Structure 1
Amino acid sequence: MTALFSALLPPDDVVEAVAEALGSPGDGLAWEPPERWHVTLAYYGRDDLGTRAAWLAGRLAGRPAVDVRLEKAATFPGVLWLTAAGPELTPLAHAAGAGAEPRPYVAHLTLARFPREEPELARRWTAQLAGFTSRSWRAAEVALMTSEREPGGTRYRVARSFGLDHA
């Protein structure tokens, strides 16, 4: 069993726009590389891939594609992130299982981590990205991702993809 989660993957041009807005980050934050950027819908933890894929396929069947955009930065304790916005994003996340988690769902894309006791490290970035808004995109696919610890960090891989209706 491996750790699993479902996510929306931003298109390349949106990833490039975020990277451009960041410029050359540094200053004590542990930055997520752009190839790992995603909007988590639900986290499942250690689970059987086949069982979770079948469950997710049933939950997503017939669900429409959703419009998403990334905008202003915010923080959780120890995490700098961009808000993921779109009217159907939260309902999609709940269909994917987000409602089973103990905390309320907040759609976001993690940019960096920092020591919880040093929130000032992220203040510059929340100010710098306060006016950021990406273009909207139509997310027509949900990825079931694996999260595997490897030397040098955690690696995410798309294990299965589930198309959303274009209607």
Structure 2
Amino acid sequence: MRTFTALVPDAAALDHLAAALATVDGPQWIARDKWHITLCFHGDGDDPAARAAWLRERAADLRPIRLRLASAGTFPGVLWIGVEADDGLAAAAAAVRDHTSVHVERHEFVPHLTVARSPRKSLDAIPLVGYKGPWWTSSELVLMRSERTPDGYRYSALDAVLLRGLP
């Protein structure tokens, strides 16, 4: 099983983004139930119970994060919506990344929410560069499972860790 830690936007943020994407003539959008902001991949064969306990320990002093989805960009084959946030996002990402001596993230942390994938054609972020969603406060880190299916990846929440630290 492959696990990762993520933030899941609240319903108002998701509704706002869905409405914005509906105005753009572009690629086939990734299903809304897959939208999340990945903080760290934990790899294949991860033990969910041990990872949840580890996540609780790492998140013990983290405070809720104020953030919003804003702007857009691309990686090869990926169109994403960016994230603006207070310094709580960087603290949360730092707390969960590089979690073992053998694990090193392959990429620098670029907070984003993937909205489209296309390995064969280029994706255009220009129609969404001016996007600004509503602010919300994320009060939990979500431990997610990623399962490959014949129809693509399916994500499901395994556990949630409340962020209770003081500002």
The 3-state SS of whatever aligns with 2:62 is: coil
Q: In structure 2, what is the equivalent of residue 103 of structure 1?
A: 107
Runs of 4+ in 1 over 4 A off after TM superposition: 24-27
Residues 151/42 of structure 1: CA separation in 2 closer, same or farther (3 Å cut): same
For structure 2, which runs of at least 5 residues remain unmatched after alignment?
none
Which whole-Å CA distance do the structure 2 matches of 1:108 and 1:161 have between them?
Answer: 20
Q: In structure 2, what is the equivalent of residue 115 of structure 1?
A: 119
Q: How does 1:3-152 map to 2 (within 5 A)?
A: 3-23=2-22, 27=26, 29-46=27-44, 47-87=46-86, 88-97=88-97, 100-115=104-119, 118-119=121-122, 122-123=123-124, 126-152=125-151
Deviation per residue, 1:44-84 (Å, 9 max, x gap): 11111112111111111121011111001100111000001
Residues 41/61 of structure 1: CA separation in 2 closer, same or farther (3 Å cut): same
Aligned length: 160
Q: With structure 2 as the length reference, what TM-score do the two structures score?
A: 0.88
Task: Give identity over the alignment, percent.
Answer: 36
Mapped contact 2:62–2:91 kept (Cα < 8 A): no
Residues 76/98 of structure 1: CA separation in 2 closer, same or farther (3 Å cut): farther
The 3-state SS of whatever aligns with 2:51 is: helix
Q: With structure 1 as the length reference, what TM-score do the two structures score?
A: 0.88
Which whole-Å CA distance do the structure 2 matches of 1:81 and 1:59 have between them?
Answer: 27
Mapped contact 2:4–2:41 kept (Cα < 8 A): yes
Residues 55/137 of structure 1: CA separation in 2 closer, same or farther (3 Å cut): same
The 3-state SS of whatever aligns with 2:91 is: helix
Which whole-Å CA distance do the structure 2 matches of 1:25 and 1:159 have between them?
Answer: 33
Shift of 1:30: 4.5
For structure 1, which runs of at least 5 residues remain unmatched after alignment?
none
